[in-house]
Amino acid sequence: MFTPFGDERKRKINLGGASSALSHTALIDRTRALRNERLEQQRRHESALRVQAWWRGIREARRVRGEMRKAFEGDVTGLLGLRCLAIIGKKDDEALAIWSRKMVAGGPDILFALARQPDVIQSWLVLIKQVAFSLLRSIADKPFNRSPPSLSHLKVLNDLLSGAATNPLVSAQITQYLLLRQFYALSSRSIAGIMLTKRLQPPQSRSSPALALLLSLATVPFSTLEPTSSQFSAALNATIASVLTIHLLPNRIPTTSLTHLSAHLPFAHLSSLDIDTILCSTSPDDKVNLIANLQVFVTPRYKLLDPKSLAKHFWLLTSLLNATPASILNPPPPKSSTPSIQPTWDSDSDSDSEHSPRRTRVAVVNSFTSPSPAQAMPSTPEPRTLKRITTLPSQAHLTALLSWPASPTTRPALLALLLAIATVWPADTAPRILAAAPALTREIYRGHVRGKTPGVLDPEAGEKDVWPALLLLVELYTKALQTMGDDEFFGTVSAGAGSASGSGRMVGGSGSVQGQQAPVARNPLTLDELTEWTRQLMDVAFALYWREDVDAMREMVGGAVRCTWVGVRERVTRCLVGIHARDSRKPFVPQDHWLVTSQIDVQSFVEAAIFEERELSNTSNANPTLPGSRFSVQTHSKRQLAYLSPRLGVLNNIPFAIPFDVRVSIFRHFVLNDAMARASSHNTVTARQMFFPGSSRTRVQVRRGSVAQDGFDRLAEADLKAPIEIAFIDQFGQEE
């Protein structure tokens, strides 16, 4: 029954509007939003609690520091004031300034008053260590401030570490505490900050009293610690790695400080250096600065150093040179604005010289992204720094190095240093070494190379210490061969002729009087020694050419040698070729001395060489070429052939290692392979021209009076591997 007022108990149903029921997705979203809102409110509540706790802590700390500051001001020189200063001095520079000024005004009596009381000396020692570290850190954080607080800090630190007014054991303990907390790193930062600030120009910074006190502070530990202690060695290592790496250090400190630093640094104890630690703790720029500064401080003291310290200095310099790119230490000369003229001729020796024509090289790579550098490159050295570094290969420095008598302790280190110098400055070092020490080549061979077995590609397999001496000997002897005549090489020149040549001192000087006709051997090695040594070099070279692992050949030799195995192979090959040329003109080695047939199977070698050459030819012929272009192995240099094929590398670089008849047989196969390849890659007419002499061929005319000009003009575009007929025209224009 219809009622006008409706039925309140009946459920109301809206048949015309949208449904108010939520979908499943909307319900989940609303639940998630409510949960996130609760989490956000909880996070805000927890953050507010943390901020409130932090603020209460800060406020309480300020209150406590204020109370401690009042207690400190009430007893500045007492134990209570020192205890308060140890706590608040980490952030309160003003309290540190008050205390240090008070100590300076009172002198050592006030500073060490508590140290003389037996009942409080231990507490004083614990507290004074912390205060000293706070002083040092305050100076490092504000190195440019020349106000009295900074100066008073430095004076207090010098008094604490010197031990002049107290027990040296107390000063030693304070020094050890600071050394464990980067004493020299903070001191170096302070020194560099004073010298490099813009507000203190060089004339002002050199006269800064804070700088003099800092340099004096840097040498105090060496007068406090025992030279035989580990702390002394750690201090010396830190000094080398932190102080002597400051840029232009000798130029930016006063003369008195420079004299003090040079006199008080313990260079006599360089034998305790840890070279690996120094290399790891210095940046590339630091290494460059360290080389320059060592030349200033250590080089004038060579005569004062004992053999162990001198050897350690040589090893340090060697490691620094090997760890620095050669282009930084020996930058190339600036390019001239005048365009260089490309030579129109080239050597026909297929060498890898700088005058060889450049060819387009294509290599298969796995990625087109440039590899990341192995180490950061140092910046370009400042001219004054570079000038000091270039004294290393100077004649005066090399003469000073080589003037020392041979010693089992220093000689290996010296040879490694000379090799490192020769690697960076290859054009200047070897001639100067030969001029300074003519007998060094003989000494190196007889004392360090003869009878030794170098480990090829695996230094652990042989005597790894022989590589620096062997490579230096190779460098020196190769350079000597360039100016040594055959008569000097074989020792057939007379004393008068040798003196007249004016170059008898280059490799091995003689003491004969001019005018005597006794034979003089400018060659530092006897022919028997050369025979033995070349056999050793042949084993090394053949092992390096025979290795097919390209990645292993690109690895560094390691140790004191900054050179890859490819570089070793090239140096040894260059020396062997020079000696073999002398033997070819006048044999002095036994028959079959140069051959390596005992190490290989000749028949397998021939078959493999022919196969490898055919594979290279097929690879070259896969690309379209002009009819007159050269391909096959001729498009590859000797170095590339050594990478692509060990056997072709041997044939092209040390061919004398293979018997002559075997090489002739291989060459004939190469010619046949080339002819067959050309026949298959050209048309039928070209093939018929190559294999049938009676067919048509290229015909050119050459005038007798202009053979060179006509030869270049007529044969420039000709295929030199195809049959060519040359007709010579006489002066009357008639064909001969």
Span 219-244, pLDDT tens digits: 999 999 999 999 999 999 999 999 99
| Count of CB atoms situated within 10 Å of the CB of 146 | 17
CA 616 vs CA 89, 131, 544: distances in Å: 76, 75, 21
Biggest distance spanned by C-alpha atoms of the chain: 156
How do beta strands 724-729 and 698-703 pair? parallel
Residue 521, both tokens: 């051997």
Q: Which helix (H) or strand (E) holds 398?
A: helix 395-402
Residue 257, both tokens: 């400080």
How do beta strands 561-564 and 698-703 pair? unpaired
626 versus 313: which is more confidently predicted?
Answer: 313
Angle at which helix 209-224 crosses helix 255-264, to 10 degrees, equals 10
For residues 117-129, give the mean pLDDT: 93
Residue 380, both tokens: 């370009």
For residues 603-614, give the mean pLDDT: 83
Lowest mean pLDDT among 266-270, 341-345, 730-734: 341-345
**In which residue are the tokens 């952030």 written?**
91
Q: Would you kindly state where each structural domain of the chain is located, as residue ranges? A: 26-61, 75-265, 389-588, 598-681, 698-729
- Percent of the chain residues past pLDDT 90, beyond the cut: 50
For residues 100-118, give the mean pLDDT: 91
For the question of whether the overall pTM of this predicted structure is more than 0.85, the answer is: no
**pLDDT above 60: residue 519:** no
What is the tens place of the pLDDT at every residue in 294-341? 999 999 999 899 999 999 999 999 999 999 999 999 988 876 544 444
For residues 704-715, give the mean pLDDT: 88
Long-range contact list for 78-84, CB < 8 A, 24+ apart?
Answer: 78/114, 79/114, 79/120, 79/123, 79/124, 79/127, 82/114, 82/124, 82/127, 82/128, 82/131, 83/123, 83/127
| Count of CB atoms situated within 10 Å of the CB of 98 | 19
CA 577 vs CA 42, 187, 270: distances in Å: 84, 56, 42
**pLDDT above 50: residue 343:** no
496 versus 147: which is more confidently predicted?
Answer: 147
CA–centroid distance for 540 within its chain: 25
534 versus 680: which is more confidently predicted?
Answer: 534
